[in-house]
Amino acid sequence: MKKSFLLILTLIIPILLMAQASQDFLRSTGKIYSVVAALVIMFLGIVFYVWRLDKKVKQMEDDWDD
By CB under 8 A, name the binding residues for another protein.
1-2, 5, 8, 12, 16, 19, 26-27, 29-32, 34-35, 37-39, 41-42, 45-46, 49-50, 53, 56-57, 60, 63-64
Determine the 3-state secondary structure of 1 from DSSP.
coil
Q: How far is the CB of 48 from another protein (least distance, A)?
A: 8
How many C-beta neighbours within 10 Å does residue 34 have?
14
Residues in the chain: 66
The CA distance from 5 to 51, in Å, is 14
Task: Indicate the residue among 21 and 32 with the shorter CB distance to another protein.
Answer: 32
